[in-house]
Structure 1
Amino acid sequence: MRLRLFAPLVVLLVTSLPARAAVIVIGNYTDADIAFTIAEPDEKARSYKVLSNTVVPVFVTGPADIVFTTKGRETKLRLDMYSAYLFLPDPTADLRLEGLELPGNALDRDSRPEVNPVPRDPPVKIPVTMLVDDVDPRADELWQKELRKRFDEAADVIEKAAGVRFTLAGFDTWKSDPTAKNTSDLLDGLEKAVKAKEGALVLGYSSRKIDEKVDPAFGAARGLSGRHILIREWRPRSELERGEVLVHFLAQAIGGVGSPDPGSALRAKLGDRYAHRPGAVVRLDPLNALLLNLWADERRREPGVTFDSLTASNRVRMTRIYKALLKAAPGDPLAIAYLNELDRDVAKNPDPPLKRPDPPAKSTKRDEIMRKVVKAVTARAKLNSEAGASALVGDELTAAYIRTAAETAVRLRGPEMVSAVLIALGIALDETGTLADDATTAGAVKDIETTEERAERLAVLGNPTLGGRRDLCRRFFIGCAIGELLRDAAEDAAVGRALLDLHKPANLRVPVLAAELAGITFGRAMQQDVELLHDAHRKFTATDYLPPMKGLRDCLSAEKFGELYGDSSDARFLAVLADIRKRLKEMKAYK
């Protein structure tokens, strides 16, 4: 079978079409090209041919019928708008069309023809500036030619699948951080060095050497919440696979999330030689293609669209698709983050107004307490930094910070006290900015300290630990905060963060995940019994609040994790989570 990389996704055998509002995605997961027709009521059937191992969008104005032939006989099926279907081999019929199940109920309006179809031409344009860092050995003419070809091919894949056209805005260079230990550090440096314009992306390629055993990731980005993409040049080794990596990150930048589909550019494990297999096509999976078409529709309506300004109908549709993808790839951090953004009871109101109601007002009293707690911890840290030889370190320093936070919160009594101190500790004892960088929690913490106040805190924070480990301390208190901010979604977020660590220098550390789950449990216990805050004030010892860590594995690489636990939905990994929860339930502090 021939290799068709970046091949045309669909051949349309008619010349002109009316404006089409709704999208249906069809995948061909067979070894042969498939011809079919799509007919809407009172309209002439339109003919299509979809290539093997390809996923394509088809646009309609309402529910439509598909007709295809198998073993010389015609099969006619009704297709639902905003759904995805797969042609699959069938041992009996040779070929069958199967719909992908989406959780929840479809909108009533999706069963009726669109009254005012929205044109889909021209495609949504997103300008991209491409850079290489100061370590790249190539002459400008050479690297620009090579990366331009790669970019054009990847952009073509996205455009044909999603109706979004990435356009090259120009080339540039930047100085990457020579002390960077991983792709996250390189991304941080790119974001600081190069500003991205509203509605545009910055795509930086780095040739700086990173130990693959420390960080095997091919790149780093923040999905919809960021405007920068960092990709390591020269990895993977083949140009075909580098093109697939670029498709992966471009799709993530416009709303794509992880998929278990072994042929999707959004699968977790890239660089697996898939692109070199006979018949391989660099493509998206059906559900992500469906999602990106919805995001494209929203960008046609409002170029700067956010979760807050989504139309209510697409909010319902996206929620169903993200839930389906999260079910298929449990623990995906972007899917979790986006579902938290979309978390509203819209399914019970199938035809809501086009504008979302205003979000509930933030608790200004809680924010006031949080600011004072963080400032108090900073002041305590400054005193400690000036104490010379008598300065506290490690677990003792953490206990001092807890006492200071508790004292401050208790002086400002009120119903917001516990909530405020839990979130404030997540900010104050973390030097990495996890809560501020996470789209699901950033809104609640972004105004708690200024950039200058944060810099002052970090300069004097020292090295507070729990159980002698800085990482356990940091994640325990992040757990306290997300337990308060994300509530029922907190544990999924913690697991997703742990899985994301598979591609970071220290890899996945099960004790760190246990610490974050302990922080969530600690916060919930404190909400049930405020006396726990007073107990922590009087004495805070790691062994009182962290579960026993014996037997929990540390520093698991992606390969080792796969060997031991398969993936996040594997019974072996679920048993690890169950074991952690059991350990927490048996602790005196949480009974």
Structure 2
Amino acid sequence: MTIRLRAKSFSGPSRAALLLAVVAVALSCTAWAGVAVIANHTSAIQTVQVTAESGISSAVAIQPGFSRPLFSASPLHASLTTTIGPQSKRLADGAAYRIVSSGLPGSVMLKQIGFGEQPDKPTPLWRGEPETVVGAARWSIPVVLYVDEEEPTRDAIWQRRLTARIEAASTILQQHAGVSLRVAGFGRWQSEDRTTDFLRSFDEFQRSVDPPEGHVAIGFTSQYVFEEGPRKLGGTRGSLRRHVMLREWSPQVTENERLQLLVHELGHHFGAAHSPETESVMRALLGDRRQRLKAVKIRFDVANTLILALVGDEIRSRGVTDANQLTPWTRHRLAAIYAILSATLPEDPAAGVQARRAGAVGVPVKPVIRTEPLAALTATAATNRKLPLSADPERGEAARLVGDDLTDALVRSAAKAAMEDPSIDSRRRFLVALGLGLDDSETLRKNPRTRAEALATESDAARSARINVLQQPTVRGRNDTLKHFAVSAALAAMTSSTEAHALGFAKEAIDAQGGSGFSFADLAADRAGIRFAEAVLAGTAPLAWLAEEFRGNNFVPALEGYSEGLPIEKMMKEYGGQGDPRFQAVIGEIDRGIEALPPYRPLSLKLDALHQAPASFRVD
């Protein structure tokens, strides 16, 4: 089998981008064509050395927040160089991975993202005679550009403008799907002036325009005036259909925003679905003005990059022009990914429609269930509640977890579920789950800043069910300390660290005026929770590590010696207000105690513990 890099079809920046991503392509009909995606979920550029078992190797530089596909005719290995040495992982076919911080300065790890089952790919993959298999040289897709009679500019002007936009979109598609677009012609169509509905206009476009076989018709209508509020800006009829239509908007809309809309609809054309990630070009709501900034780069989220790569690989290697021509294996993978995207946006129909299209081809698709962190925490509590108070060796039953041990198990289960979330928002969702799940009060449900999200995350019925099985989890032996810790962590994630600190102090000040009294121990738990949230959100306390190693006592300092139950008069007499040096001295002592906890110690103190870290904490 001949394996070689193919780069002749590219020029300029797009050539360099895809040359890094395309590791090898085989032209034999028995080629084992594989696809994998790596996303950079750190704040720095990451360079991955990707090596095929055939011996071909390439360095792939991935910008922060971007995802890059890898195409190969033989199994791939990805290697990262970190401060603790090289780390390598064999990539699974049809899988996606993300680079995240391992918790040590300068050290990262590669984690696979759960996108459902990955059945073994049949061998040979391509069925049929060798001459029916199209080689990898077929990488560009011809498109014909159309405008309606409302286009105000001369042919030469609009053709030049739209060609430049298509070329810019083509570069982005090459980087995510490995396919490009080639302008093959131009045309006009007559739109009905009385039609104001976008979908009806799209129907007119389809009836009026019949592109050549293998071509895609992209129409740009100028019939509509710009209007405020939600509006239909573009559309397709499904994956690999022959028509795409977009509204040109008003003169106030920038070219960058028009390019974003074009890439969004082309994403749908190649199979992409709406994403919950706000930085993805596939987010459901465009027109939010962020794309006015030229510095904002258009990018796909990791789930949709995998979809584009799978479809693009079949276009290049098999000449696929219709979704029904996709192999059963690819349809199976697409259906699993669509199911997860559909779960993240239950009110949005796009992923559900794509999932039904992929699943309606006779491929048995096992439903993919994404476990929410809060649901996982509740399920763990319910399972534990059924266990006996003491172990029963004869029946093989462990003893029921209580106190600190129960907390550790609940937090680990939430972290594990959060790891399965493909969105970059998983850390925040984990913290919100802890704030709701470990608290039986209504703090987050009553706070005006967090009420809406809290009610949307957990219904009244789900809350009652959780409280019925929660029992009394603790940290350092205290349930109230755990509540302060968890709620403050959630507040920091849902608002900000500054606001969480202010709310914590405000609560203690209120307690001092006739309640349980001002408590520096409670304030210490608040500050520990906020520090924990900062570490989780920054990736220095990775979810992978928390899922295996979380222990509450490692994140909350000892509270003995801190004054509690102080009425307002005594508190003011002994410590003054927030700006008093005596008050600040206690806060400084609390913060030093938190920073001395094991997870926050300097690197030199962490290295000794690395060898005892779980396998999931490192890249294997």
The normalised TM-score by structure 2 is 0.50
The residue that corresponds to 1:31 in the other structure is 43
Measure how far apart 1:15 and its partner are.
Answer: 11
User: What displacement does 1:33 show?
Assistant: 2.1
The equivalent of 1:219 in structure 2 is 234
Whether contact under 8 Å (1:38, 1:67) holds in the other structure is: yes
Match of 2:111 in 1: 98
In structure 1, C-alpha distance between the alignment counterparts of 2:345 and 2:188, rounded to whole Å = 36
Residues 228 and 17 (structure 1 numbering): CA distance in 2 closer, same or farther, change over 3 Å?
Answer: closer
Which residue of structure 2 lines up, in the alignment, with residue 256 of structure 1? Answer: 272
The residue that corresponds to 2:327 in the other structure is 311
Q: For residues 353-411 of structure 1, give each alpha carbon's deviation from its aligned partner in whole angstroms, at most 9, with x where no partner exists.
A: xxxxxxxxxxxxxxxxxxxxxxxxxxxxxxxxxxxxxxxxxxxxxxxxxxxxxxxxxxx
- After superposition, the Cα gap between the structure-2 partners of 1:78 and 1:298, relative to the gap in structure 1 and judged at 3 Å, is closer
Name the counterpart of 2:509. none
Letter of the 1:66 counterpart = A
Q: Which residue of 1 aligns with 2:94?
A: 82
Separation in structure 1 between the aligned mates of residue 266 and residue 347 of structure 2, nearest angstrom: 21
- The letter of the residue matching 2:91 is L
Aligned partners of 1:186 and 1:282: how far apart in 2? 28
- Equivalent in the alignment of 1:184: 199
Write the distance in 1 (CA, Å) between the matches of 2:200 and 2:119: 43
Q: Does 1:334 align with 2:347?
A: no
**2:5 corresponds to 1:10:** no
Amino acid at match of 1:76: S
CA distance in structure 2 between the aligned counterparts of 1:291 and 1:136, rounded to whole angstroms: 34
1:60 paired to 2:72 = yes
Partner of 1:346: 364
The whole-number CA distance in structure 2 between the counterparts of 1:328 and 1:9 is: 34
Aligned-CA RMSD value: 3.9
Instruction: Give the 5 Å matches for 1:105-504.
Output: 105-109=117-121, 121-210=136-225, 212-213=227-228, 216-224=231-239, 226-234=241-249, 237-276=253-292, 280-300=296-316, 303=319, 306-341=322-357, 342-343=359-360, 344=362, 346=364
Deviation at residue 151 of structure 1 after TM alignment: 0.8
Distance 1:131 1:327, change over 3 A: same
* Distance change >3 Å, CA 88–CA 131, structure 1 → 2: same
How far off is 1:144 after superposition? 1.3
Counterparts of 1:173 and 1:14, CA distance in 2: 37
The Cα of 1:256 is off from its aligned counterpart by 1.6
Distance 1:252 1:128 in 2: 16
Alpha-carbon distance change, 92 to 243 in structure 1, aligned in 2, over 3 angstroms: same
Aligned pair 1:22/2:37, yes or no?
Answer: no
Corresponding residue for residue 448 of structure 1: none
Match of 2:563 in 1: none
Distance 1:284 1:246 in 2: 13
Which residue pairs with 1:51 in the alignment?
A: 63
Structure 2: unaligned runs, 5 residues or longer: 1-11, 27-31, 367-449, 463-620
Letter in 1 for 2:334: M
Q: CA deviation at 1:108?
A: 2.9
Q: C-alpha deviations, 1:43-98, integer Å up to 9, x for none? A: 35432222333221112334432111233632222321111112235553443323
Deviation at 1:333, TM superposition (A): 2.7
CA shift for structure 1 position 339: 2.1
Distance change in 2, residues 1:14/1:126 (3 Å): closer
Amino acid at match of 1:131: Y
When Rg is computed on C-alpha atoms for both structures, the one with the higher figure is: 2
Q: Is the 8 A contact 1:61 1:113 kept in 2?
A: no
When the two structures are superposed, what TM-score results if normalisation uses the length of structure 1?
0.53
User: Percent identity at matched positions?
Assistant: 28
Aligned residue type for 1:136: E
Please report how far the alpha carbon of residue 307 of structure 1 lies from its aligned counterpart in structure 2 after TM superposition: 4.7
1:203-228 deviation digits (Å, cap 9, x = unpaired): 11112224624752222222227422
CA contact (8 A) 1:134 1:175 kept: yes
Aligned residues: 355
The structure-2 alpha-carbon separation of the partners of 1:129 and 1:274, relative to structure 1 and needing over 3 Å to count, comes to: same
Confirm or deny: 8 A CA contact 2:35 2:309 kept in the other structure. yes
Give CA-to-partner distance per residue, 1:452-484, whole Å, 9 cap, x none: xxxxxxxxxxxxxxxxxxxxxxxxxxxxxxxxx
Counterpart-to-counterpart distance in 1, 2:211 and 2:312 = 20
How far apart are 1:280 and its partner, in Å?
A: 2.8
Letter in 2 for 1:147: L
Identify if the C-alpha distance between structure 1 residues 250 and 218 changes in structure 2 by more than 3 Å, giving closer, same or farther.
same
Query: Retained in 1: the 8 A contact 2:52–2:77?
Result: yes
Question: How many Å separate the matches in 2 of 1:333 and 1:71?
Answer: 45
Aligned 8 A contact 1:6 1:157 in 2: no
Mark the runs of 5 or more structure 1 residues left unpaired by the alignment.
Answer: 349-562, 579-591
> By how many angstroms is 1:305 displaced?
5.1
Taking a change above 3 Å as real, the CA distance of residues 200 and 278 of structure 1, as seen in their structure-2 partners, is closer
Aligned to 2:412: none
1:252 deviates by 1.0
Could you tell me how far 1:18 is from its partner in structure 2? 5.4
Structure 2: distance between partners of 1:574 and 1:195: 50
Alpha carbons of structure 1 residues 180 and 29: separation in structure 2 relative to 1, 3 Å: farther
SS at 1:53 equivalent: coil
**Structure 1 contact 22–81 (Cα < 8 Å) conserved:** yes
Q: Secondary structure at the match of 2:49?
A: strand
- For residues 22 and 176 of structure 2, what CA distance do their matches in structure 1 show? 20
Q: Which residue of 1 aligns with 2:409?
A: none
Give the SS at the match of 1:58.
strand
Retained in 2: the 8 A contact 1:40–1:64?
Answer: yes
The one-letter code of the counterpart of 2:17 is: V
- Cα drift, residue 126 of structure 1: 2.5
- Supply the distance in 2 between the matched residues of 1:13 and 1:196 (Cα, whole angstroms): 34
